Structure 1
C-alpha cells in the first residue's frame, strides 16, 4: 500500500485544473472552468471545475470529486493506482508502507497486475529491436518506412521474436504468473491442451496501444512474410483494461496537438498515424481498421469538435466506410474529409511527396462532408437522374443526423447550391426525415412510459413532494449553509454561523442518514475546537459523504461580474446577510419538521377513530395537532407566509 505521506503530498500538489485539463479542454466562465462532461454525451457544457475548491462536478450525470477521484473515474482505476498516476505527473516519490510484508507486496489486484505485465511486454518488444533478429527484420522494416529512432521511441515500436515462447519464458523469469499473462492477452492456450502455452505475438513488428494517460494496454502486430495462412495484422483481445470500442491509436501522443489545433485527423492504420507525425502533423488518431464506435467518438469530443477524416484513394473502400461520417455528425462533431490520389494512403502519400507538400495537400483538399459526399457520387448521378435522387436522400439523412438546428440549416443551403436543387425541396425531405426520427423516439419513450404505468399507480406523482421529501430538502439546505459558510461570523457579533446552526438544531433529529452523519462529524470537530473545512469533507473516507458534500458546495450558476462592472446593477446574495439567511433557513427547517409531526398526528387520529375507537385518545391527539398548528402559524408569520 502507498504510504499516507505520499497520498498527502499528492493531494497537496495536484491541481484540479491541470489534472482535468489533460483529458478535456476547459474554458473559464466566471470563477470556474467549464467543459462538456467526459463521462456522458452532452451538447452544452455542464461539467464544472472549481480551482478555489479543487473539485469537479457534472450537473448532468452527477459525477463529482477531487483530482484523485477524477483520475479514478476517467481511467477506471483504484485509489492506489490513481495516486501513482498523479505522483508520476508531479514528480513525487512513491513510498510504500513499511508494515507490508513481502507477500503483501506481491499481491496486487488484477487490474494493476495487467498494467504491469503489459508494460513489461512493451519493454520486451522494444528491446528485441536490438537483437540480431530484431535488427535484421523489425528495425529494417521500420527504417524502410522512414521511421527514425525518435519516432520509434515515441510510439514504443518493437518486435516479437519468431519463436513459440520467447516472451513467455522471459515473463515467467521476471515473476509473472501465467494467469495474468493470459488475461492480458499476451499468451495463448493450445486448443485441446490448456496446459500448453505459447506467445500470441510471434515473428511480427509490434505497435504499442496506449490509454489516454500513456500506459500500454494492448498491441497490434504486423507480419512481414507473405504467409497466406496468417493474417497481416493481429491485435490484443478485449481485456479488463483494453476495450477496443473506447480506444483510438495515437490518442495519447495526439491529445495536446488536438487541443492546440482544435482539429483531429482520423486515419485507418497504425503506420498512417506514425507517418503523419513524421510529416509534422501530430493531431492524428486511428480507429485501427475497425468501424467507428460511439465510445471512440466521445473520446475525440473530449478534445475537439472538429474532425477531418482522411480516406485512401480507393472509391469502393470510401463508399464502404462512409457511414462513419454519419456517426461523427450524430455525435455532434463538425466533419471534413480529404481523399488521397488513387492507390495512396496517408502513409504512402506522405513518403512520396514529403512533409511540406503533404501538409499543403491536406489544407488545399479538405472539404466539408456535403461537398465530399456530392463529389464522391457526382459522376454516377450526372449519368443517372434516379441515382441523383438517391444521393439527395442520402445527403438529407446525413444532415438530419446533426443535432444543432442552425448548423443543419447552413448545410441545407449549401447542399441546395451544390446539387442545383431548390432549398425548399431539401427542407421538405429533411423535415420528413426528422419527423420520422422523432416518431421513433416518441414511440420508444411511449413504450418506456407504459412500462412504468403500473408503478405509478402504487407511488405518488413525481410532481407531488411528500412531507418526508420536503423535510429532506430543508435538511439539505441547512447542511449546505453549514458547509459553505460555517466558518464565517454573523454580522459584527463574535458568533460563527456554525455555532448558531448547531445551537438551533441541538434538539432536532435529522431524518436523512447522510445529513445525520455530516452533522455528527461537524459536531465532533467543534467539540475538539476545530471548524471542519470543505477540504476535510472532500477527502473524507466515506464516499457517500464526499459525493454529497461536493454536490452541496458546487453552485450550478454564478452572477456575472458584468452586472456591477458594466451595468452598475447590484445583486444581493445570501452571503450579504448571513444572519438573516441562517435565521430563515432554521425557521423553514422547523416548519417542515412541524409539518411532519402534524402528519404523524393525523395518522394517529385516523387510527384511533377507525381501528379501535378511543374518544379520550382522539381528543388528546387533536389537542396535539392544534398546538402544532399554532406553532406552524407563528413560523409562517415570521417568514411572511400567508395562507388563506
Structure 2
C-alpha cells in the first residue's frame, strides 16, 4: 500500500485544472471552468471545476470530488491506483507501506499483476522484432506497409513467434504465474486438458492496445500467411483491465492532438491509424473493426465535440455503417465524413499519394453528415420516388438525434434544400419524432417512479406523511450544515460567531441524516483540537460521502457577474449581507420541522392510546405532550412572522 507521505505529496502537488484538462476541454466562465460532463451525456455544460477550491462538481449527474476522486471515477480505479497515476504524472516517488487488509492486498496485487504481465508481453513482442524470425517476417511486413522505425516504436508494434508456448515459457521464467497469464488473455488452456497451456498469439504481428494512461491492456494480432482456416485478426478477450467497447486504438497517442485540433478522425483499422500518424495527422483513433459503441463516443467527447469519420471507398459498406453517425449525433457531437476513392482505405490512400496530397484530400473532401448521407444515395433516388421517400425519412431520423435545437434547425434547412422538399415538412416530421421521444421518456419515468415507490413501501414501514417529514428535515439539516461549513467563523453579533450560535442551538437536536451527523462531529472534533474547520478541512478527510456532500454545499451552479457592481453599479443582495437573520431563521425552520414530525408522532400515540383503551393517566400524559409541542410550534411561527389559527 502507498505511504501517507506519498499521498500527502500528491495532494499538495496536483492541480484540478491540469488533471481534469487531460480528459475534457475546459472553458473559463466566471471564477470557474466548465465542460460537458465526462460521466453522462449532455449538450450544455454543467460540469464545473473550481481551481480556487480544487474541486469539481457536475450539476447534472451529481458527481463531485477532488483531483484524486476524479481520476478514480474516470479511470474506474481505486484510491491507491489513482495516487500512483498522479504520482507518475507529477514525478513523485511512490513509497510503500505494508499495512492493508488481505482482501485489499489480493485485489490490488491481481490488477497490478495483470498490468505487469501485459507490459511484459508487450516488451516480449517488441523484442521479437530483433530476432531472426521477427526480422524476416514481422519487421518485413511493417516495412512493406511503409511504417518507419519511429512509428513502430511509438505504437509498440511487435511480433509473436510462431511457436507453441514461447511467451508462456519466457513469462514463467520471469516470475509470472499461469493463472495471471490466463486472466490477462495472453495464453489459452486446451479444453479437456487443463495441463495443456499455450500462447494465444503465434506467428502474427502484434498491435499493442493502450489505455488512456499509456499502459498496455490488450493486443490485436494479424496473421501473415494465407491460411484460410485461421482468422485474419485475433484480439485479446475481455479481462479485468480490457473492455473492448470502452477502448479506442491509438487514443493514448492521439488525445493531446485531438484536444489541440478540436477534432477527432475516426477510422476502422490499426494500420489506418499508423499511416495517418506518418502523414502528420495524429488526431486519429480506430474502432478496431468493431461497431462504434456509446462508451467509445463518450471517450472521444472527453477531448472534443467534433468527429470526422473516414470511410473506405465501398458504398455498400458505408451504407451498412451509417447507424454509427446517428449514435455520434445522439451523443451530442458534430459529425463530418470523408469518403476515399473506390477500392481505397485511409491506409492505402495515404501510402499511395503521400502526406501532403493526403492532407489536401481531407481538407477538400470533408462533408457535413447531411450532404454526405444524401450524396450516397444521389443516383438511386434520381429515378425512384420510393427510395427518395426512404432517404427523406432516414435524414429526418438523423436530424431528430441532434440534441442542440439550433444545430438541428440549421441542418433541417440544409436538408430541405438538398432534398428539394419544403423545410416546414421536415421540421414537422422531426418535431413528431421528438414529441414521441418525450412522451416515451415521460411514461418510462412514471413507470420507474411507480416501481421506486412500490419498493419504498416494501422496505419502509413509515407512512407517506413520515417520509415527507424526513425529506423536509433532510433539506433543513443540509441547510444548517451548509451555513456552518461556509460561514462558521463569520460574526452574527459583536461577540458570537456563526459556529458558536449554530452549535449551541442544535446541541439538544438529533440530526437524523447520518452524513450530516458525521460533518457535525468532525466540526466539533476539529474545534476541540484548536483547528478551524474551513471547507478545505472536510476535503482532506478520508470519507467520500462527507467530501461529496461538502462540495455540494460550497459549490454553486450560477454566479452573478462582478460586472453588475463594478461596471454598472447595480448592487444585488447576498445571503452574507444579513447573515444573522439567515442563520436565525434557519434554526427556527429546523426546529419547526422537527416539532412538526414530533407532533405527528404524538398524535399517533394518542390514537394508539384510545384504540387500546389505555388508562386515563397515560392518555392524559400523551395529550399533554402533544399540547406542549403545539405551544412550541405556535411560538416558533410567531418568531418567523407566521400567523396561523390553530
TM-score by length of structure 2 reads 0.94
Counterpart residue number, 2:255: 255
Counterpart residue number, 1:360: 360
Query: 1:19 offset after TM fit, Å?
Result: 0.7
Alignment of 1:420-459 (within 5 A): 420-438=420-438, 440-441=440-441, 444-445=444-445, 447-448=447-448, 451=451
Counterpart residue number, 2:553: 552
Query: 1:454 offset after TM fit, Å?
Result: 5.2
The answer as to whether partners of 2:313 and 2:345 remain within 8 angstroms in 1 is yes
Structure 1 residues 416 and 91 mapped into 2: Cα distance closer, same or farther (>3 Å)? same
Counterpart residue number, 1:535: 536
User: In 2, Cα distance between the equivalents of 1:143 and 1:548?
Assistant: 57
Structure 1 residues 520 and 184 mapped into 2: Cα distance closer, same or farther (>3 Å)? same
Query: 1:344 offset after TM fit, Å?
Result: 1.0
User: In 1, Cα distance between the equivalents of 2:588 and 2:597?
Assistant: 14
Alignment of 1:17-416 (within 5 A): 17-97=17-97, 108-416=108-416
The answer as to whether partners of 2:511 and 2:517 remain within 8 angstroms in 1 is yes
User: In 2, Cα distance between the equivalents of 1:263 and 1:213?
Assistant: 20
Query: 1:491 offset after TM fit, Å?
Result: 5.5
Counterpart residue number, 1:570: 571
Query: 1:565 offset after TM fit, Å?
Result: 2.8
User: In 2, Cα distance between the equivalents of 1:464 and 1:604?
Assistant: 14
Question: Deviation string for 1:550-597 (max 9, x for gaps)?
Answer: 222222322222322333221222223333322222222222222233
User: In 1, Cα distance between the equivalents of 2:506 and 2:385?
Assistant: 79
Structure 1 residues 471 and 221 mapped into 2: Cα distance closer, same or farther (>3 Å)? same
The answer as to whether partners of 2:30 and 2:561 remain within 8 angstroms in 1 is yes
Counterpart residue number, 2:12: 12
Counterpart residue number, 2:634: 633
Alignment of 1:581-600 (within 5 A): 581-600=582-601
Coordinate RMSD, CA, aligned: 2.6
* 2:194 partner SS: strand
User: In 2, Cα distance between the equivalents of 1:456 and 1:91?
Assistant: 49
Counterpart residue number, 2:509: 508
The answer as to whether partners of 2:138 and 2:205 remain within 8 angstroms in 1 is yes
User: In 2, Cα distance between the equivalents of 1:436 and 1:19?
Assistant: 40
Query: 1:402 offset after TM fit, Å?
Result: 1.7
Query: 1:18 offset after TM fit, Å?
Result: 0.8
Structure 1 residues 489 and 402 mapped into 2: Cα distance closer, same or farther (>3 Å)? closer
Question: Deviation string for 1:46-89 (max 9, x for gaps)?
Answer: 22222122122222222222111111111111111111100000
Counterpart residue number, 1:642: 643
User: In 2, Cα distance between the equivalents of 1:110 and 1:310?
Assistant: 39
Counterpart residue number, 1:519: 520
Structure 1 residues 602 and 14 mapped into 2: Cα distance closer, same or farther (>3 Å)? same
User: In 2, Cα distance between the equivalents of 1:220 and 1:33?
Assistant: 38
The answer as to whether partners of 2:269 and 2:288 remain within 8 angstroms in 1 is yes
TM-score by length of structure 1 reads 0.94
Structure 1 residues 454 and 543 mapped into 2: Cα distance closer, same or farther (>3 Å)? closer
Question: Deviation string for 1:354-404 (max 9, x for gaps)?
Answer: 111111111111111111111111111123232222222222222122222
Question: Deviation string for 1:286-325 (max 9, x for gaps)?
Answer: 1101111111111112222211110011112111212211
User: In 2, Cα distance between the equivalents of 1:505 and 1:429?
Assistant: 59
Aligned residue-pair number: 643
Deviates more, 1:299-308 or 1:91-100: 91-100
User: In 2, Cα distance between the equivalents of 1:82 and 1:558?
Assistant: 32
User: In 2, Cα distance between the equivalents of 1:598 and 1:548?
Assistant: 30
Structure 1 residues 372 and 579 mapped into 2: Cα distance closer, same or farther (>3 Å)? same
Counterpart residue number, 1:623: 624
Counterpart residue number, 2:479: 477
The answer as to whether partners of 2:187 and 2:198 remain within 8 angstroms in 1 is yes
Question: Deviation string for 1:469-522 (max 9, x for gaps)?
Answer: 222221111111122222x23057354322332222222222222222221222
Structure 1 residues 623 and 492 mapped into 2: Cα distance closer, same or farther (>3 Å)? closer
Question: Deviation string for 1:519-560 (max 9, x for gaps)?
Answer: 122212211222223333223223332332222222232222
* 1:109 partner SS: helix
User: In 1, Cα distance between the equivalents of 2:209 and 2:366?
Assistant: 28
User: In 1, Cα distance between the equivalents of 2:538 and 2:510?
Assistant: 21
User: In 2, Cα distance between the equivalents of 1:231 and 1:21?
Assistant: 40
Structure 1 residues 579 and 291 mapped into 2: Cα distance closer, same or farther (>3 Å)? same
Structure 1 residues 446 and 605 mapped into 2: Cα distance closer, same or farther (>3 Å)? closer
